[in-house]
């Protein structure tokens, strides 16, 4: 928004400059018209003189007036050409500034859209994280119950010793393996007795 405001201020300055130049151009055009009126007045004045006087006066005055007017016209045409060129350049600059404003606004819209998408993804990830935590707590709870059952099966039997206060997972696994081995041996003994 700061960039857009800056560009808009530049556009306003350029447009103000164009208005100033156009005003100067109108003044120059008015001066040209005034010069033409003066020239017409001089021409009318000489029309009332005698033919000889008219020719002499007209020749001298017209030559001087023509030189003066040609110089004025040349200067004013040069100024007008410069002002037209400057107006064209300023209008081109304004067009570029307007294009930059449009581009900046599009970028802002894209950034807002991207921000919304990122926010939506973040919310989805938070939801997924919450679901994962809940699932992890359930698995941890099941694992702990399963571990306690193994400990009970391994240590809470006749003739077994009480387990230490804290059992590592390796100790629990070893106790479970011992139970399995004992059951296998017992089953083998049963089969041997049964066959006899």
What angle in degrees, to the nearest 10, is found between the helix axes of 169-195 and 51-155? 40
Asked if 97 and 11 count as a contact pair (C-beta separation under 8 A), the reply is yes
Is residue 20 scored above 80 in pLDDT?
A: yes
- Dihedral, CA of residue 56, residue 59, residue 62 and residue 65, to nearest 10: -90
Asked if 21 and 86 count as a contact pair (C-beta separation under 8 A), the reply is yes
Q: 125 pLDDT band (50/70/90 cuts)?
A: very high
What is the structure's pLDDT at 59? Answer: 79
Report the pLDDT averaged over residues 105-118. Answer: 93
Alpha carbons 131 and 139: distance in angstroms, whole number: 12
Is residue 33 scored above 70 in pLDDT?
A: yes
CA atoms within 13 A on the CB side of 52: 0
Comparison of pLDDT for 17 and 3, the residue scoring more:
17
| 120's tokens | 């939506």
Q: 165 pLDDT band (50/70/90 cuts)?
A: low
Asked if 80 and 28 count as a contact pair (C-beta separation under 8 A), the reply is yes
Domain spans in the chain, listed from the N-terminal domain onward: 1-160
The helix, strand and coil proportions of the chain, stated in percent and rounded to the nearest 5, come to: 90, 0, 10
What is the structure's pLDDT at 193? Answer: 78
The mean pLDDT of the chain is 83
35-73, pLDDT tens digit by residue? 888 888 877 776 666 666 657 776 787 788 778 888 888
What is the structure's pLDDT at 48? Answer: 66
Is residue 124 scored above 90 in pLDDT?
A: yes
């Amino acid at each position: 928004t700061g960039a857009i405001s800056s560009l808009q201020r530049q556009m306003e300055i350029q447009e103000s400059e164009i208005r100033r130049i156009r005003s100067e151009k109108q003044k120059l055009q008015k001066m040209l018209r005034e010069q033409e009126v003066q020239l017409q007045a001089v021409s009318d004045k000489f029309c009332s003189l005698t033919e000889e006087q008219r020719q002499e006066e007209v020749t001298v005055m017209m030559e001087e007036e023509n030189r003066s007017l040609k110089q004025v016209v040349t200067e004013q045409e040069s100024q007008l050409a410069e002002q037209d060129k400057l107006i064209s350049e300023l209008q081109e600059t304004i067009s570029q500034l307007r294009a930059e404003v449009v581009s900046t606004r599009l970028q802002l819209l894209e950034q807002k859209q991207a921000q919304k998408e990122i926010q939506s993804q973040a919310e989805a990830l938070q939801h997924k994280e919450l679901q994962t935590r809940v699932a992890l707590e359930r698995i941890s709870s099941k694992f702990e119950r399963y571990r306690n059952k193994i400990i009970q099966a391994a240590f809470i039997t006749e003739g077994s010793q009480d387990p230490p206060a804290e059992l590592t997972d390796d100790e629990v696994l070893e106790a479970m393996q011992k139970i399995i081995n004992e059951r296998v041996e017992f089953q083998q003994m049963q089969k041997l007795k049964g066959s006899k």
